[in-house]
Structure 1
Amino acid sequence: MENKLPKRSEVATELTWKIEDIFASEKDWEKTLNEAVSLADEIVKFLGKAAESAENLYQVLEMVEKCNLKCHLVFGYAFKMRDVDTTATLGQTLYSKAMSLEVGISEKLSFLEPEIIAVSDEVIEKFYKERPELIKYKVFITEVRRGKEHSLSPELERLLAGTNEISELPYEGFATLSNADLKFPEITDEKGEKIQITNGRFVPLEESKDRNLRKEVFEKYYETFGSFKNTWATLYAGQVKQLMFNARARKYSSTLEAAVDSNNVSPEVYKNLVEAINDNLDKMHRYVRLRKKLLEVDELHMYDVYVPIVKDYEVKYTIEEAKELVLKAVEPLGTNYVNLLKKAFTERWIDVVENEGKRGGAYSSGVYGVHPFVLLNFNGTLDNVFTLAHEMGHAMHSYFSNEKQHFMDSQYKIFVAEVASTTNEVLLMEYMLKNAKDNKERAYLLNHYMDSFKGTIYRQTMFAEFEKTATEMAEGGEPLTHENLTALYLKLNKKYFGEDMVSDELIGYEWMRIPHFYYNFYVYQYATGYSAAVAIAHRILKEGETALKDYMEFLHSGCTADPVSLLRIAGVDMATKEPINSALEVFERVIEEMERLIK
């Protein structure tokens, strides 16, 4: 691990994504931005008469689709420019302009949904007969009308749309502080070399065999976050308050109900997950006991969470080796899927390495009419290999959805977003386990498998419970101070990890570093998605072509039905606890095998 991160300009071109595939120049970007504004101005001419006739409605929706696509391209380019170097003025400027564009157009077009809602069901059906081409927008029209009881007058919709940019400020403050302004101290590694802690290096450093190093990194990392505890609490309280404002404005009973309804999912799905996981905490506690035993420590601490429990076995991967593993693992998904991945790898869809100012973590962003873009911070760990598989699953989902659906039907709901990504992870794990050279390698992989269940089902559900409880506190009038939030997080950590884990006081600060807490009840979908993916991947491996056909139909479906119905196409019913319980049975079997392998 090198001490100094490269500047963006020092990163090899082949390791960067080809952003010019969206726009060849800033001039082209600016031109598209202005075209979007002009289109919005044309749409506004239909104010008061957008749903007056079938012809008007069709014309308006055609223009809305074109306008939204232009905004999508403008915004997609801008935030990618910002994310690869959050310290650069250009990216910040483009992002700011793109945000202003989205807010401005959202305000201008805010009249449309109330006008579509105001029309009776009979008239809408009549419109479809008079202008059959309008059927193209039936999914959109139906989704708009589904929100009838939560819609407002055109004047209030316009006013509410004007708050969108303000609503982004808590996250923007979090991202700027976390990625650009927060400076971590240096530590001395096992070789005696100075290394600066970064968000991207935190987990790799916590995987070190040197326990004193892990402890030092853990303490310095969280102490750095804790030194801004009042600021983090202010930012998160701002996030919760803007969610509460929007939920109340739209006549929802809670922020949770408003959040899940935006994806056409029942709050019961969220509550089912938290209940199912709480009913299965014994398996998590069994995993913690096994980790403590295999690490041979008197006390298991939170800085012992990431270190592999298989001793004297460590593998590092190049990005090329990671790509090859992923390609082999997804062969059960068919030749077309594999060839598309090869195309992504050779045509620079991916931004690979960490550089100064680059956003932490990883994501995939589908750009309609272009191709998906994937951001990584690849450090060569096994976890990084799985991250590549994960993000390419997102990318392929976007690709197939965009290929089959027109723009307005291509934007699949967030609830299903983690399924394709995690299906790839499960396939990768099964492939690597099948091809393990010996019991030592198999144990190393099983360790990662257990950590995936721990991290994706249990940890994300703990996050989900934190979000749910914190917003309920705020809705009940309790202030979200750093003391309250830290105490809540520490209490949940103790519950989820159990008595065999020492929940160090500093882990109470972990809520401060989680960007997903600014995504509006997003994280529960990692756990539901992982549960669904375990079922889908095993079905494909067991049944072959029939299961693959169903899965590919799901990937091509965009948002053409509600998310729970779409998952039923792939053979999973998330309206029940069954997929969660089934996934945790797999977790238990993995723990049992690990207990047998290492005695």
Structure 2
Amino acid sequence: MENKLPKRSEVDVELTWKLEDIFASESEWEKALSEAKSLADELAGYAGKVAESAETLYKVLEIYEKDSLIMHKVYGYAFKSRDVDTTSTSAQTLYSKSMSAGVEISEKLAFLEPEIIAVDDATLEKFYGEKPELDKYKIYITEVRRGREHSLSPELEKLLAGTNELADLPYEGFATLGNADLKFPEITNEKGEKIQITNGRFVPLEESKDRRVRKEVFEKYYETFGSFKNTWATLYAGQVKQLMFYARARKYSSTLEAAVDGNNVSPEVYKNLVEAVNDNLDKMHRYVRLRKKLLELDELHMYDIYVPIVKDYDAKYTIDEAKELVLKAVEPLGTNYVNLIKKAFAERWIDVVENEGKRNGAYSSGVYGVHPFVLLNFNGTLDNVFTLAHEMGHAMHSYFSNEAQNFLDSRYRIFVAEVASTTNEVLLMEYMLKNAKDNKERAYLLNHYMDSFKGTVFRQTMFAEFEKTSNEMAESGEPLTHENLTELYLNLNKKYYGEAMISDDLIGYEWMRIPHFYYNFYVYQYATGFSAAVAIANRVLKEGETAVSDYMKFLSSGCTKDPVSLLRIAGVDMATKEPINSALQVFERVIEEMEELTK
């Protein structure tokens, strides 16, 4: 854990992504930023005139698309430059400039959508007849007008656009307190070494085979969070209040309705997930009992949830081995899919290793007209291999949508964003299980699969239920204090983990450290996406070419339909509980096999 990281300049260039594919230099980036601002000024001249004629509407949307695409590249280059080296002053400057420009441009263009919404249906149909080229923007226009009952006057839209930075303050406060100001104590690890707890070290330390270490880390970590309990509650209450403000301003009945409607999803999909997972909690409880048995513990505590239950087996992989596994795993998706991933590996779409100042975690970010970029912090674990598969799924989704759709129609919704990534993971798991050398390796893989269900379906749904309930509390006038937030979280933890787990009181503070609670009802999509992916991967493996063809249509569809309709193309109906119930039956089968292997 204390190995010195290389500086960015010391990393082998072949292990870094090639941002020159976006802009050859910072001066090119500056030119693009300047052009985006000029285009925004040009667009601003059309305020009040957007629907003067079919020709004007087409011209406005043409400029808007061009401006949006340039800013997409400008922002993409800036945040990727910053993310690989947060110590770089020049990268921070690029990022700050792009963010400021984004706010400035959004304020200038605040008139656009209200004017599109204000056009009556008959006039719009006449425009389509007069200017057939407008069909290119029909999906975008329809989506804008879908929200007409929630739109405001141009003046109020401009006012709301100017509050965007204020709305980010609760999260900014959360991130600053959690990442900069919060100081954790040291503990003595299993080797007798003093080591400071950090957010990044928490889970690795909780994987320690020494239970004393796990318990001490757990207690000191959450006690540190708890020492700022009033501040965390104030920040989270601020987050919920700003969501309530926007929901009321846009005439939604609740923050949940406002959040899911942004992705054109019904609140019923959210509620179905919570209900379906609650109906299947017996499977989670069975998993917890199995964990307790395999760890040979009289009492299972929350500090025992990360320690591996398969003893004396720990596989390590090089990045080349990980790449080969991913390529083998996705072969059922066809030669074109495999060759595209090979191209990504060969042409430096991926930033592979950790360096000083590089942000943690992993992500994929598509850049329209260029190619997707993938950020990793690869250090050879099984998790890292699955992360590579996961992020390449995102990358392929972006690639196929970008190739098939115009820029405005390529931007698929967050609701479907986790499907392609997790489909790759399920295919990788099935491939590795099929090729496991012995029962020890098979058990190791099954453990990873069970943990994926635990972490992605059950844990994320628990988060989703916390978010839903806490928002409902605030909407009914109940103040969000640290006491009632902690009580809510602790009770949910007890319900989800069951009686075989001792839900230590300190786990009630866990809500204080979850950044996703500031992402506006985001986490449920991990669970729905995972469930859809299990269904798609199993269909691909069973049905072959027909299923692959449907799946490729889904990957290429961008945002041309609402997300639930898009998933129906791939053979999954998320308007029902069936995909969640079906995925959790797979979870049960994995538990049963693990029970058999470990008798």
In 2, Cα distance between the equivalents of 1:179 and 1:22?
A: 30
In 1, Cα distance between the equivalents of 2:329 and 2:117?
A: 47
Gaps of 5+ in 1: none
In 1, Cα distance between the equivalents of 2:537 and 2:407?
A: 28
1:142 aligns with 2:111: no
Map of 1:307 onto structure 2: 307
1:241 aligns with 2:241: yes
Deviation at 1:553?
A: 0.5
Map of 2:151 onto structure 1: 151
Q: Which amino acid aligns with 2:107?
A: E
Contact 1:179 1:357 in 2 (8 A): no
Map of 2:327 onto structure 1: 327
Map of 2:93 onto structure 1: 93
Q: Which amino acid aligns with 2:391?
A: E
Contact 1:179 1:358 in 2 (8 A): no
1:566 aligns with 2:566: yes
Contact 1:200 1:361 in 2 (8 A): no
| 3-state SS of paired residue (2:109) | helix
449-458 or 315-324, which moves further after superposition? 315-324
Q: Which amino acid aligns with 2:83?
A: D
Deviation at 1:345?
A: 2.0
Contact 1:199 1:360 in 2 (8 A): no
Using the size of structure 2 for normalisation, the TM-score is 0.96
Contact 1:3 1:194 in 2 (8 A): no
In 1, Cα distance between the equivalents of 2:300 and 2:99?
A: 45
In 1, Cα distance between the equivalents of 2:348 and 2:229?
A: 39
In 2, Cα distance between the equivalents of 1:487 and 1:89?
A: 43
Q: Which amino acid aligns with 2:449?
A: Y
Contact 1:329 1:427 in 2 (8 A): yes
In 2, Cα distance between the equivalents of 1:388 and 1:162?
A: 38
CA 1:229/1:110 → structure 2, altered by over 3 Å: closer, same or farther?
same
Contact 1:450 1:591 in 2 (8 A): yes
In 1, Cα distance between the equivalents of 2:107 and 2:210?
A: 55
Deviation at 1:197?
A: 3.6
After superposition, residues 52-451 of structure 1 pair within 5 angstroms as 52-451=52-451
Map of 1:25 onto structure 2: 25
Map of 1:534 onto structure 2: 534
Q: Name the % identity.
A: 85
Any idea what the Cα deviations from partners look like across 1:454-492, whole Å, max 9, x if unmatched?
111000000101111111122122222333322221111
After superposition, residues 506-585 of structure 1 pair within 5 angstroms as 506-585=506-585
560-569 or 388-397, which moves further after superposition? 388-397
| 3-state SS of paired residue (2:111) | helix
196-205 or 337-346, which moves further after superposition? 196-205
CA 1:219/1:15 → structure 2, altered by over 3 Å: closer, same or farther?
farther
In 2, Cα distance between the equivalents of 1:170 and 1:387?
A: 29
Using the size of structure 1 for normalisation, the TM-score is 0.96
Deviation at 1:188?
A: 4.1
18-27 or 124-133, which moves further after superposition? 18-27
Map of 2:596 onto structure 1: 596
In 2, Cα distance between the equivalents of 1:345 and 1:180?
A: 35
1:501 aligns with 2:501: yes
Deviation at 1:164?
A: 1.3
Q: Which amino acid aligns with 2:566?
A: L
Contact 1:466 1:488 in 2 (8 A): yes
Deviation at 1:31?
A: 1.7
413-422 or 198-207, which moves further after superposition? 198-207
Deviation at 1:192?
A: 4.1
In 2, Cα distance between the equivalents of 1:429 and 1:277?
A: 22
In 1, Cα distance between the equivalents of 2:86 and 2:223?
A: 23
Contact 1:50 1:60 in 2 (8 A): yes
In 2, Cα distance between the equivalents of 1:8 and 1:198?
A: 22
| 3-state SS of paired residue (2:110) | helix
| 3-state SS of paired residue (1:110) | coil
75-84 or 123-132, which moves further after superposition? 75-84
Any idea what the Cα deviations from partners look like across 1:75-114, whole Å, max 9, x if unmatched?
2122223333445443333322222211111111111111
Any idea what the Cα deviations from partners look like across 1:133-174, whole Å, max 9, x if unmatched?
100000000001110100111111111111112222222333
Q: Which amino acid aligns with 2:263?
A: N
Any idea what the Cα deviations from partners look like across 1:280-308, whole Å, max 9, x if unmatched?
11110011001001110011111211222
After superposition, residues 38-53 of structure 1 pair within 5 angstroms as 38-53=38-53
CA 1:4/1:236 → structure 2, altered by over 3 Å: closer, same or farther?
farther
Q: Which amino acid aligns with 1:436?
A: A
| 3-state SS of paired residue (1:364) | strand
Any idea what the Cα deviations from partners look like across 1:542-593, whole Å, max 9, x if unmatched?
1111100000000000000000000000000000001000111111111111
Any idea what the Cα deviations from partners look like across 1:157-204, whole Å, max 9, x if unmatched?
111111112222222333344344444444444344454444333323
In 2, Cα distance between the equivalents of 1:87 and 1:492?
A: 39
Any idea what the Cα deviations from partners look like across 1:422-445, whole Å, max 9, x if unmatched?
101100110010001111111111
CA 1:372/1:193 → structure 2, altered by over 3 Å: closer, same or farther?
farther
Map of 2:462 onto structure 1: 462
| 3-state SS of paired residue (1:104) | helix
CA 1:176/1:87 → structure 2, altered by over 3 Å: closer, same or farther?
farther
Deviation at 1:502?
A: 1.3
Any idea what the Cα deviations from partners look like across 1:342-388, whole Å, max 9, x if unmatched?
22223222223334443332221111112212222323221221111
387-396 or 86-95, which moves further after superposition? 86-95
In 1, Cα distance between the equivalents of 2:280 and 2:598?
A: 24
In 2, Cα distance between the equivalents of 1:169 and 1:79?
A: 19
Q: Which amino acid aligns with 1:98?
A: S
Contact 1:200 1:354 in 2 (8 A): no
Matched length: 599
In 1, Cα distance between the equivalents of 2:24 and 2:509?
A: 43
Q: Which amino acid aligns with 1:505?
A: D
In 2, Cα distance between the equivalents of 1:355 and 1:181?
A: 22
398-407 or 511-520, which moves further after superposition? 511-520
510-519 or 16-25, which moves further after superposition? 16-25
Gaps of 5+ in 2: none
In 2, Cα distance between the equivalents of 1:240 and 1:318?
A: 43
Q: Which amino acid aligns with 1:43?
A: L
CA 1:224/1:319 → structure 2, altered by over 3 Å: closer, same or farther?
farther
Deviation at 1:32?
A: 1.3
In 2, Cα distance between the equivalents of 1:343 and 1:204?
A: 33
550-559 or 467-476, which moves further after superposition? 467-476
In 1, Cα distance between the equivalents of 2:147 and 2:447?
A: 45
Contact 1:462 1:496 in 2 (8 A): yes
Deviation at 1:393?
A: 0.8
CA 1:57/1:375 → structure 2, altered by over 3 Å: closer, same or farther?
same
Q: Which amino acid aligns with 2:377?
A: N
Map of 2:471 onto structure 1: 471
In 2, Cα distance between the equivalents of 1:512 and 1:340?
A: 41
